[in-house]
Amino acid sequence: MCTFIRRMRISHLNTARWLSTSRTNNMKVSVLGAAGGIGQPLSLLLKQSPLISHLALYDIVNTPGVAADLSHINTSTIVTSHTESPELYHCLKDADLVVIPAGVPRKPGMTRDDLFTTNASIVKHLATGCAEHCPNAFICIIANPVNSTVPITAEVFKDNGVYNPKKIFGVTTLDIVRANTFVAVSKDLDVNQVSIPVVGGHAGVTILPLLSQAKPTVNFSNEELTTLTTRIQNAGTEVVEAKAGQGSATLSMAYAGARFVFSLLRAAQGERGISECAFVESTVVPELPYFSTPLLLGKEGIAQNFGLGKLSDFEKKGLEALIPELSKNIEKGIRFNKFE
Ligand code: NAD
Ligand code: LMR
């Protein structure tokens, strides 16, 4: 799409925004890293949502092709394409929500922390764009290591004097999606009825499923608890190994990312009672300034943090075990911003 037509469309959208009496169906969502393994299927799911009037796609490569392709789908969401740093402004201006899957994925044998060297700089650059061009948007970080990229984003917003801890989220929804699936399959339950909170962070032992709080109530043997917890913690690695060098989870992540975005948008438009787990600034565990717990979402982001609830002895041990690792990951993100 040529730049002129794109600008016309953006300016038309902005006019429509001013004329509108309600924000319903008038939300702009920007996807940064839109041409990637997650970005493409995520954008496909978002294009189908009546909640989104404008889907702005940004990547350093291949964005025009992805945007042209999606723009032929007969839904009312307008798609615009933005490539290269100067166009980041147009992608982010007036955005209500930004989702960031930009960054490299793992290969077999790597930890998420091994991605830090490359992804920390990418996230810092994109977070700076968000702080400058759409400081009031909801920011949803998918890029790994989430345990560090969320603190990096928060620090960038603080440096720019626009930090709102209620609006910056590390997307951990895939852990919940996996926990629900694995428990439903192992206990022969209807997966649509299963809901498992997953707290902590998003890497290895920092992922802590609270199986004692499963809905509906389920009894697990000690062996089942260990097997299921370990599988949920290693599920990302399961996919990385199965893809054998071709990346990590993309399709299930797109599904999970879309679920999280839709929850936030519905809450932003006034729907009540919407809750999701996410990795956010937190005081739930005093040693950890960021932590994932179930959150009530509202018009301005986090309306209430539900905390940990009652933990089983097994989960208390898991919590103790994750604190040193998660603390290190968070500190690494905070330090990166100060010294890089
Ligand atoms: P990918 O390599 O397929 O796609 C990444 C995209 O980011 C590419 O299109 C690339 O061009 C783009 N990109 C790189 N630098 C950029 C920049 N500066 N600005 C804009 N775009 C840029 O990777 P993927 O499989 O889509 O995974 C992306 C990230 O998501 C990885 O870090 C991965 O570990 C992470 N991930 C997180 C979760 C989660 O649960 N939070 C789940 C799966 C993957
Ligand atoms: C996942 O959980 O699938 C993602 O964090 C990607 C990865 O590297 O495992």
* Per-residue pLDDT tens over the stretch 55-98: 999 999 999 999 999 999 999 999 999 998 889 999 999 999 99
pTM summary value: 0.94
Is 298 touching ligand 1 by the criterion CB < 6 Å? no
Q: Nearest CA to 27 among 262, 230, 224, 197?
A: 262
Instruction: Quickly state the pLDDT bin for 7 (edges 50, 70, 90).
Output: very low
Three-state DSSP string of 68-125: HHHHCCCCCCEEEEEECHHHHHHHHCCCCEEEECCCCCCCCCCCCHHHHHHHHHHHHH
Residues 6+ apart with CB under 8 A from 109: none
CB atoms within 10 A of CB 322: 23
CA of 291 to the centre of ligand 2 (A): 17
* Nearest ligand (C-alpha, residue 143): 1
Q: Which fold has domain 173-339?
A: L-2-Hydroxyisocaproate Dehydrogenase; Chain A, domain 2 (3.90.110)
CATH 3.40.50.720 in the chain, residues?
11-170
Q: Verify whether residue 125 is a known catalytic residue.
A: no
The residue count for the chain: 340
Which range has the worst mean pLDDT, 2-16, 24-38, 130-144?
Answer: 2-16
Average pLDDT, the chain: 93
Catalytic residue among 54, 82, 133, 202: 202
- CATH 3.90.110.10 maps onto the chain at 173-339
CA-to-CA distance for 219 and 101, rounded, in angstroms?
Answer: 36
What is the percentage of the chain residues whose pLDDT exceeds 90?
90
**What confidence score (pLDDT) does residue 162 get?**
98
- Assess if CATH 3.40.50.720 describes domain 11-170: yes
Per-residue confidence (pLDDT) for residue 13, from 0 to 100: 36
- Residues 200, 208: contact at Cβ < 8 Å? yes
Ligand 2, CB within 6 Å, residue ranges: 105-106, 112, 144, 174, 202, 236-237, 239-240, 248-249
Angle at 190 between CA 184 and CA 192, to 5 degrees: 95
CB atoms within 10 A of CB 239: 20
131: alpha, beta or left? (left if phi > 0; alpha if psi -120 to 50): alpha
Which atom of ligand 2 is found nearest the CA of 240? 9
